[in-house]
């Protein structure tokens, strides 16, 4: 059996973190068996390398290895992708098609983002794990397959099971052996090593001198939380390598490339956010909107009193009294101005249909507002821009599944 160091060299794994070494040693030990493996860890920690190690060290290494991103396949077609379909089984099925489990017979299938599988597909997968049997879509003929399954997820599976999004029996079949990869922030000694490796790789790729960090920049690099883990570090290193002319990177310059997530995120969301959480947020938002409308109604009444006071002939004194009333509501009107953009109603003027409008040059109008749907569009668009079009990172930032983000992108034609 290959040594740990040999495996690291073979697959380009950098670092000597204890947790990382334990995970790799576990992968090496289970590789010769046919045990199902579940790889866990945050997005961007490099979970995809574990199934490659397992496959290459198993007796299946000369058979096919297929990696499937379950979160990237639309719900309506994932059964066909995995298990195949018969001609005429649904609209567009113009011929028979073999699925991944048929094609990879005798080999290994890596199911990435396994937590995104629809419940109906989970039932089919459970049958494959239990007895190696599956049915093509539109077929009643049972077929056999001999496939080793390695799955991966960045979800907390206990939460998904509790919410009814993932079958508990399937989880226990998949996680016969569970391998956890640590986040980059827990690998302090490896962060600078990875940066130097990526910097060297990109220097060769783009035929330019290698960038390096000064001492202060190294401390900043080690102190950052790296929410995107190794993927984020690699992308940042490539970006700096290409853009910066000065090959010595200062602390100040490095910080300009590190996003401040406390300011960039549209909202603070957790990994286990639910539809109920969003429903509660909507209720709070609607209450604020109605309160703001009531405040605007009060202002309209005050201005109407002002107009009536003028007609009564006491313009100067009554106007001043009314102005005092309005400015007595200073805090409330300031809140209205700050939150006005959220009020979903068409353009409205404080004074409507009155010829005396000309005498009030400072009269303020309520500008056309942004609907909740437009706000959602802007949030998704900005998140995609911040994450350079990477849907998985954008979905995690927004607190939604990648499949939901995919639907929203199609809906808004992004």
| 137 strand-pairing partners | 85
As a whole number of angstroms, the distance between CA 104 and CA 128 comes to: 13
What is the pLDDT at residue 297? 78
The full set of domain ranges for the chain reads 4-182, 187-258, 276-366, 372-411
What is the pLDDT at residue 314? 54
What is the pLDDT at residue 288? 74
CATH architecture entry for 187-258: Orthogonal Bundle (1.10)
What is the pLDDT at residue 90? 82
Q: Write down the H helix ranges in 185-274.
A: 188-206, 215-223, 229-243, 251-257, 261-264
What is the pLDDT at residue 412? 77
pTM: 0.62
* CB neighbour class for 114 (10 Å; exposed up to 12, middle 13-18, buried from 19): buried
Instruction: State the Cα angle at 163 between 158 and 168, rounded to 5°.
Output: 50
CA 411 to chain centre: 18
Q: Which letter does DSSP use for residue 392 in this model? A: H
Q: Are 16 and 189 in contact (CB under 8 A)?
A: yes
As a whole number of angstroms, the distance between CA 54 and CA 106 comes to: 14
CATH superfamily label, 4-182: P-loop containing nucleotide triphosphate hydrolases (3.40.50.300)
Q: Which letter does DSSP use for residue 173 in this model? A: H
* pLDDT tens digits for range 11-31: 999 999 999 999 999 999 999
Give the C-alpha distances (Å, rounded to integers) separating 58 from 31, 51, 107, 134, 311: 5, 10, 9, 24, 93
**Regions of the chain with pLDDT less than 50:** 261-274, 315, 329-369
């Amino acid at each position: 059996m290959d040594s740990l160091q040999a495996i690291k060299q073979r697959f380009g794994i950098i670092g000597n973190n204890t947790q990382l070494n334990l995970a790799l040693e576990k992968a090496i030990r289970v590789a010769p068996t046919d045990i199902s493996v579940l790889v866990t860890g945050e997005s961007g920690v490099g979970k995809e390398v574990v199934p490659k190690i397992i496959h290459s060290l198993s007796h299946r290494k000369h058979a096919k290895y297929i990696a499937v991103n379950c979160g990237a396949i639309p719900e309506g077609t994932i059964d066909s992708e995995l298990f195949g379909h018969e001609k005429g089984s649904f609209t567009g099925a113009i011929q028979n098609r073999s699925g991944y489990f048929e094609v990879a017979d005798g080999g290994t299938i890596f199911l990435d983002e396994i937590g995104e599988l629809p419940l109906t597909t989970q039932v089919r997968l459970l049958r494959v794990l239990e007895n190696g049997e599956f049915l093509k879509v539109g077929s009643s003929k049972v077929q056999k397959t001999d496939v080793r399954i390695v799955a991966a997820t960045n979800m907390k599976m206990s939460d998904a099971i509790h919410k009814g999004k993932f079958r508990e029996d399937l989880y226990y079949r998949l996680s016969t052996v569970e391998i956890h990869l640590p986040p980059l922030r827990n690998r302090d000694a490896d962060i600078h090593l990875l940066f130097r490796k990526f910097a060297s790789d990109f220097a060769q790729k783009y035929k330019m001198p290698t960038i390096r960090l000064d001492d202060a920049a190294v401390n900043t690099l080690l102190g950052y939380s790296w929410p995107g883990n190794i993927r984020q570090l690699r992308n940042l290193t490539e970006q700096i390598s290409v853009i910066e002319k000065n090959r010595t990177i200062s602390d100040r310059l490095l910080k300009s490339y590190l996003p401040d997530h406390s300011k960039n995120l549209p909202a603070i969301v957790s990994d286990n956010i639910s539809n109920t959480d969003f429903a509660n947020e909507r209720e709070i938002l609607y209450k604020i909107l109605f309160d703001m409308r009531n405040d605007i109604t009060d202002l309209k009444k005050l201005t109407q009193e002002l107009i009536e006071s003028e007609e009564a002939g006491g313009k100067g004194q009554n106007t001043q009294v009314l102005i005092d009333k309005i400015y007595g509501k200073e805090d409330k009107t300031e809140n209205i101005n700050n939150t006005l953009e959220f009020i979903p109603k068409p353009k409205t003027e404080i004074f409507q249909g009155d010829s005396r409008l000309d005498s009030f040059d400072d009269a303020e109008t309520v500008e056309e507002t942004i609907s909740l749907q437009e706000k959602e569009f802007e949030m998704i668009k900005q998140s995609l821009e911040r994450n350079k079009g990477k849907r998985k990172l954008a979905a995690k930032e927004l607190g939604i599944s990648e499949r939901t983000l995919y639907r929203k992108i199609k809906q808004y034609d992004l």
